[in-house]
Structure 1
Amino acid sequence: MHFQLTEDQRALRDGTRELLAGRFGREALRSSLDTAADAPVPVLDRGLWRELGAAGLFGLCLPESAGGVGLGLAEAVLVFEECGRALVPGPLVATFLAAGDVEGAASGETVVTAPYNGLVPWLDAADVVRGDAAGAEPLAAPVDPLTPLHRVPGGERSCPPWRATLLYAAEQLGSAGRTLDMAVQHAREREQFGQPVGAFQAVKHVCAEMLVRVEIARAAVYAAAVTGDPVEVAAAELLADEAAVQGARDCLQVHGGMGFTWEADVHLHLKRAWTRAELGGRARDAEEALAASL
């Protein structure tokens, strides 16, 4: 069997990266942060949402007869990987999964959210809530400044469907790939004692370990997208969470003290990775699913 991406899949991935770079590049990301810092509640960019819908992101897996693109979950994973890489804010996963059931979701006219693991992202910005969010209370200081959260009392048992877990894992994979690139770029450009910090063995080892985690997670996420096996999805979740969270921490280490400053983007990936890990599924549940399958 041939496990490489097809030409069409590579074109989809590259096209998505180009679209997001133009519409939600670093300047737009920092602008969103500044806006969120000055507002009581972060405001979702409805214009961006509609553009994502027009590009086919939310209707990617819908049949063409229903106004969708007619692709599969493997292609959706590639697109969500790019969204994670760009730190696109908003309830992407819930809106994507609702595209076939909620009017306007596929086109980006309707924003959909859902409670996962007792947390509801972007509740105030959503037009439709799929699931029971009764009594949800806002978290005063969410970890990620671009992911406002509400907590549903007693909602810890509301684990997400496996497709949601897989898409969150794909976003984690994209974030891990981005922090790897950031670490390598900084190691090449930053000089100490007359040479790039990447010339030091300790920094080389950190970057190499980041690469290994990213590639292992990528293999697991792509495989789970093809098989749809819940056990493989659980494995993909664990590996992608580790790649994203530990990768962001290692990227901070490579950057040194400047990586912790507000002006740097590294800490944003770490905060989003922590948040996705909570929304996408609890590690304990994934570990239990894997153990039960052995």
Structure 2
Amino acid sequence: MRFQLTDDQVALRAGVRELLERCFGREALRAAVDAPGRLDRALWRTLGEAGFFALRLPEADGGVGLGLPEAVLAFEEAGRALLPGPLLATHLAAGTVPGAASGETVVAAADGELVEWLDAADVVRGDASGAVALRSVDPLTPLHRLTGPSGSGVAPPDPAAVPAGPVAASPDPVAVLLTAAEQLGTAGRVCELAVQHARAREQFGRPIGAFQAVQHLCADLLVRAETARAAVYAAAVTADPADIAAARLLADEAAVQGARDCLQVHGGMGFTWDADVHLHLKRAWVRARRAGGSAYGAELLAAALAG
């Protein structure tokens, strides 16, 4: 089985990256950080016009007519750019919720322990009644905790700093994989940021990348990112639940540990508000709780291996 990208897939990935760099560059990112909880409706409609939400919708229904591998590439670029908003919920609602495919309708999903972007949504799929607002660790992802059977009923101060809560019985495999794709985007981006800084930053008269300890950190970043990439791309082709579970586990690790190592390469300046590195780590923490979280992936993979 071949996992090499086709020319069309390479062009799609390049097109999505160019679109996001034009519509959501660093200035727009920092503006979004300074106005937490506000969703840019113009950007949302632009994504809809570009076919981001309708990527897997059949052409007969007004969609682009592509498949899961292409959606993975698009979500990887979204993760790389730290694109905010309930991208996954709106994408999954295309074709069933009017206006979701075109970006006119913002959709949130109450299908786990946490609900992202609840206040900004036009439509909420699932029961979010009684959801409790949290102070999210990620300034670009407002969160609510469900208080029903799938929630704990108690809102902790930091959802990324507590053990995973109840695992959904059967998260949508597509949601699991596309979350892994976003994590892969973060893993690749923090690897780039670490290498760029290691080349530019000088200590003792030479770039810090000349020091073996920094070289080892950058090498580990690359290995984790590329291992996760192979797993995510393969799962997009096979759509096998065990492959998806393994891809999710690897992508979560590559994003979270990769962002931590990137912070280590940047030193003290990486923790400052003006740097972007901490934003990648905070988003990776929040994503790791989505669609069942890593606990679901571990359970599913263990069951597949046991069977």
The TM-score, its normalising length taken from structure 2, stands at: 0.92
Deviation at 1:157, TM superposition (A): 4.4
Q: Distance in 2 between matches of 1:188 and 1:116?
A: 43
1:98 is matched with: 93
Task: Name the structure 1 match of 2:181.
Answer: 170
User: Match of 1:278, SS?
Assistant: coil
- After TM superposition, the structure 1 = structure 2 runs for residues 188-267 of structure 1, keeping only pairs within 5 Å, are 188-267=199-278
Following superposition of structure 1 onto structure 2, how do residues 129-148 of structure 1 map, counting pairs within 5 Å? 129-139=124-134, 141-148=135-142
Give secondary structure in 2 for the equivalent of 1:89.
coil
Aligned 8 A contact 2:191 2:218 in 1: yes
Alpha-carbon displacement from aligned partner over 1:55-89 (angstroms, at most 9, x marks no partner): 00000011111110010000000000000000000
Change (3 A) 1:255 1:157: closer
Aligned partner of 1:209: which letter? D
How has the CA–CA distance of structure 1 residues 157 and 201 changed in structure 2, closer, same or farther, with 3 Å as cutoff?
closer
Give the unaligned 5+ runs of structure 2.
Answer: 151-165
Aligned to 2:63, what secondary structure does the other structure show?
coil
Q: In structure 2, what residue type is equivalent to 1:280? A: A
Q: Identify the match of residue 69 of structure 2 among 29, 52, 74.
A: 74
Displacement of 1:280 in angstroms is 3.3
Pick which of 44-53 and 226-235 moved more. Answer: 226-235
2:192 counterpart residue number: 181
**Aligned position for 1:46:** 41
Q: Write out per-residue CA displacement over residues 261-286 of structure 1, whole angstroms, 9 at most, x where no aligned residue.
A: 00000000000000000013222221
Identity %: 70
Write the letter of the residue equivalent to 2:87. Answer: L
Residue 46 of structure 2 aligns to which amino acid in structure 1? E
Aligned-residue CA RMSD (Å): 1.0
2:10 maps to 10
- Matching residue within 100, 123, 127 for 2:122: 127
Q: CA offsets, 1:170-227, max 9 Å, x none?
A: 0000011000000000000000001000000010000001100000100111111111
Equivalent pair of 2:33/2:140 in contact (CA under 8 Å): yes
Deviation at 1:117, TM superposition (A): 2.5
Asked if 2 retains the 8 angstrom alpha-carbon contact of 1:90 and 1:147, the reply is yes
Equivalence for 1:62? 57
Q: Distance in 2 between matches of 1:292 and 1:35?
A: 43
Contact persistence 1:116–1:279 (CA under 8 A): no
SS in 1 for 2:289: helix
- In 2, are the aligned partners of 1:217 and 1:243 still within 8 Å (CA)? yes
Q: What is the aligned length?
A: 288
Structure 1 equivalent of residue 160 of structure 2 = none
Question: CA 1:195 to 1:157, structure 2 compared with 1: closer, same or farther past 3 Å?
Answer: closer
1:208 and 1:288 mapped to 2: Cα distance? 30
Name the residue aligned to 1:152: 146
Match of 2:26 in 1: 26
Counterpart Cα distance in 1 of 2:55 and 2:293: 27
TM-score by length of structure 1 reads 0.96
Contact 2:194 2:266 in 1 (8 A): yes
Task: List, as ranges, runs of 4+ consecutive aligned residues in structure 1 with deviation greater than 6 Å.
Answer: none
Partner Cα separation in structure 2 for residue 242 and residue 116 of structure 1? 23
**1:39 aligned residue:** none
Runs of at least 5 residues in structure 1 that lack an aligned partner in the other structure: 37-41
